Chains A and B, each alone.
Chain A
């Protein structure tokens, strides 16, 4: 399995987790934020629709009532006029054609919108004795007409619309007069067109209608749509009570109508106002659209905000997680150091004794070879050479075990007043010659006023020495090292940047591990960086590095600014 497989896999996993988390946050927030908004919008719209409907119903109720009253007044006025006329004039006067003609002309002239088409006098035998109007009805006998008897009995009469002799729909008002023993009838025809217009003033909207039906639901006036006078309206007047009732009913498929009906007081006619619901709810539709737009805008704002917040939260979480990861890597590194330290001590101790024996035995052999008889042996040189090699390698092993013990040694750092720039400068001095012989230029760039800190000068020097030494080793020859100091986040940073080959990616994760070295066999113990790491850790700091293969590496020592106690 490739080394970076785990890294890529972990990143993909994390990305998946964060994506799911982001979706969960967005989903949940939207659910709790949008649902109430939509419900509220729906409830408000519903409430508004009801109020709107109630208002329409109320308007129609009022309109039907007032229009019904107006028709009532119209009919009563005409009836009263006829009643006054029969009281004022005698039969003999009224039966004279000239008199009646003059009277009708005077009435028409004097009263505005009289609304009567004709006027006629009928004697007690039903004979039309005088008539003024557009039809020649004089001489007709009405004795057999149903209304004749009723007028004679009740004194006054307003008819439903009927065809009569004229063969087109009309409505008459008739009043009985009495001159001595003689009974007669004054009869007038109502201008149906005027009545139609009067009723229709109550109609509203593009598709609204207003008309009068009798108790059998027969049109008494001409409706605007769907029917003619004297045809059945299809309306059953029975459910309309004495007051005004609204019935909303559906007809003609999907179209729904509001009906408002008001009974006339003086006649069993029902004045009906009809409106199409879609005609009336125009305002409501507008309101609904506005409500939907407001809710949609709100939802959009919530969605955008939620996504934004989720993004911020997840990004923050990721940052915290990254910090935790770094911390945990550092912790793991410390644990590893401690465990390895213990192991290293044990191993070093166990190896030291046999090493000492090997060293002493080799030395003893050398001592013995110094004697005359061995010295002249033909292989003496070989022996000496081999013994020297044994001693050399014992020495090499000794350095390793002693380094290991040094690495593991738990020495408390001694706190001095440390001027970091001075320490760095001294360290560079120590290595200047070594660098010069390899044609490596060490450039310095110090922060001019770093604070004096409480730290361990000797240990710090050891670390800087180690890092610069590593940089020199990495470059080999011909290159440059930039050593800079600066302040960052209340920490003093010493950065050592080389222009060597850089650290290969696959090596980077092991770089602080003890015994890990890339140096040629025998040139490094692999303890330098791990010792440096634990030293700086003990001093409360960290060592970090960045490296791009082929472009060198930068190691940075971050030291806490600990102000020394005043002495």
Chain B
């Protein structure tokens, strides 16, 4: 698997850290942050190829707003939405704003890896075309 960078944004710190660690274990450059604010400030400094974004984060900037900002500042970054709170409206909204896909927690790690790979592939193809 070619190396690329993944940012995990989730207020559930245990989840966020573990996923980041497991990705790193698979030679993927991964970083985790616990809020939309942290994510956005980090994204000002650098870009990520893939973002795993929890839609529902209490207080501050929520998932949808974060998604909107990422799409605005980093249009090439692919965002995969992740949440324990499945709501059709949010997922439709997320997809409309250009998220790559939508996954419901708990998700099998293999499925997550497949989804990340697919997003990265799409990104690579898009880059090749340009």
Contacts and interface: CB of A to CB of B under 8 A. Distances in A.
Contacts of A364: 18, 21-22, 25
Contacts of B25: 364, 367
Contacts of A360: 14-15, 18-19, 22, 106, 109
A355 B108 CA distance: 11
Contact of A405 (B22, B86, B108, B109): B86
A138 interface: no
A411 B87 CA distance: 11
Interface string B12-29: 101100110110010000
Interface stretch (A158-166, A394-402, A521-529): A394-402
A363 interface: yes
Contacts of A357: 12, 14-15, 18
B85 interface: yes
A178 B54 CA distance: 162
Contact of A363 (B12, B18, B88, B104): B18
Contacts of A351: 84
B107 interface: yes
Interface in B35-56: none
B12 A367 contact: no
Interface in B76-130: 84-86, 88, 104-109
Nearest to B21: A364
Contacts of A355: 84, 105-106
Given A357-B12, A411-B88, A352 B106 contact: yes
A353 B105 contact: yes
Given A361-B18, A363-B18, A356 B109 contact: no
Give the contact-size bracket for chain A: 20 to 34
Contacts of A397: 106
Interface string A342-358: 00000011111101111
**Listed residue (B18, B21, B106, B109) with the most chain A CB atoms within 10 angstroms of its CB:** B106
A359 interface: yes
A352 B14 contact: no
Interface string A406-428: 00011100000000000000000
B109 A363 contact: yes
B104 A402 contact: yes
Nearest to A353: B84
A350 B21 CA distance: 24
B88 A409 contact: yes
Given A364-B18, A367-B25, A356 B86 contact: no
A350 B86 CA distance: 11
Contacts of A350: 84
A410 B84 CA distance: 17
Nearest to B54: A353
A341 to B, nearest CB: 13
Nearest to B109: A363
A363 B86 contact: no
Q: Which secondary structure dominates where chain A touches chain B?
A: helix
Contacts of B22: 360, 363-364, 367
A405 B84 CA distance: 10
Interface in A68-115: none
A394 B14 contact: no
Interface string B56-86: 0000000000000000000000000000111
A356 B107 contact: yes
A361 B43 CA distance: 27
B108 A356 contact: no
A351 B12 CA distance: 13
A395 B86 CA distance: 17
A350 B85 CA distance: 8
A353 B12 contact: yes
A348 to B, nearest CB: 8
B100 to A, nearest CB: 19
A363 B107 CA distance: 11
A45 to B, nearest CB: 84
A397 B104 CA distance: 13
A356 B12 contact: yes
A223 B32 CA distance: 141
A355 B14 CA distance: 11
Nearest to A352: B84
Nearest to A358: B106
Nearest to A406: B86
A356 B21 contact: no
Contacts of B104: 352, 402, 405
B84 A349 contact: yes
Contacts of B86: 348-349, 405, 409
Interface in A292-350: 348-350
B106 A356 contact: yes
A360 B112 CA distance: 11
Contacts of B106: 352, 355-356, 358-360, 394, 397-398
B16 to A, nearest CB: 9
**Listed residue (B84, B85, B108) with the most chain A CB atoms within 10 angstroms of its CB:** B84
Nearest to B24: A367
Contacts of B107: 356, 359
**Listed residue (B12, B86, B105) with the most chain A CB atoms within 10 angstroms of its CB:** B105
Contact of A361 (B14, B84, B85): B14
B105 A356 contact: yes
B1 to A, nearest CB: 15
A387 to B, nearest CB: 12
A348 B86 CA distance: 9
A175 B104 CA distance: 148
CB-based closest 9 A-B pairs? A352-B84, A356-B106, A356-B105, A360-B18, A353-B84, A355-B106, A359-B106, A357-B14, A352-B105
6 contacts: A355-B84, A356-B107, A357-B14, A360-B14, A394-B106, A405-B86
Interface of A: 348-353, 355-361, 363-364, 367, 394-395, 397-398, 402, 405, 409-411
Given A355-B105, A359-B109, A410-B88, 13 more contacts: A348-B86, A349-B86, A353-B12, A353-B105, A356-B12, A356-B15, A360-B18, A360-B22, A363-B109, A364-B21, A367-B22, A394-B106, A397-B106
